[in-house]
Structure formats: C-alpha cells, structure tokens
Amino acid sequence: MTHVITKQCESTCDTACVSVCPVDVIHGPVNVDELRALEGADRATAAAGLQLFIDPDGCINCGCCVPECPVDAIYPEDEVPAAYESDIEANARYFSG
C-alpha cells in the first residue's frame, strides 16, 4: 500500500506535503526550493499544470502528508476516488523511468 497524490494538486503544488514526509518520497517536475520561495500568484504561475507524486516503493503509509494538503489531494491508495483512479498509475509511472 501507498499514498497517492491526485490531480487536485495541480497548480497548487505548494510542497507542504514534502516538508512533513519522513522518508522523502514526494517529488515532481518542479524545483521544490524555487517553488517555496514564491508566493501567491507567482507560485500559481510557476506551478501551472504541475503536480507532485509519491513513490509507491518508498512510502511507509504514515499518513502525515494528508492533513497538510490545502486542497485534499492526497489519499491512501485504497481510498482514491474513482474520478482520480488513473492517478495511482501516474504516481508510480513518475518514478519508473
């Protein structure tokens, strides 16, 4: 089992989950430090269309990231809403290449 970040992260992508993950398995096509340095509209522009992903091979299912997310984008794998089911594979695929 793993946790999964869904598309709801897109364009918010505020990295709050990264800060609390004890095993550093949350990554994505963004420079986290650069993103953190931006505020409000500037961050939204830099993160437009982008989201972070959780490495299913490293996630220890602690759940720490879930309450940190301002847009409720993170779910345990077996609780991902049907509308976001394809994000389970999308998270795994990001780390497979």
Give the integer Cα–Cα distance in Å for 54 and 67. Answer: 15
Check binding of 64 to ligand SF4 (CB under 6 A).
yes
Check binding of 44 to ligand SF4 (CB under 6 A).
no
Cα-Cα-Cα-Cα dihedral sign, residues 77, 82, 96, 26:
negative
CB 62 within 8 A of CB 24: no
Three-class SS state of 27: strand
Taking the complex as a whole, how short is the minimal distance between the CB of residue 3 and ligand SF4, in angstroms?
Answer: 4
Check binding of 59 to ligand SF4 (CB under 6 A).
yes
Which positions lie near ligand SF4, rule CB under 6 A?
A: 3, 5, 9, 12-17, 20-21, 23, 25-26, 52, 54, 59-65, 68-69, 71, 73-74
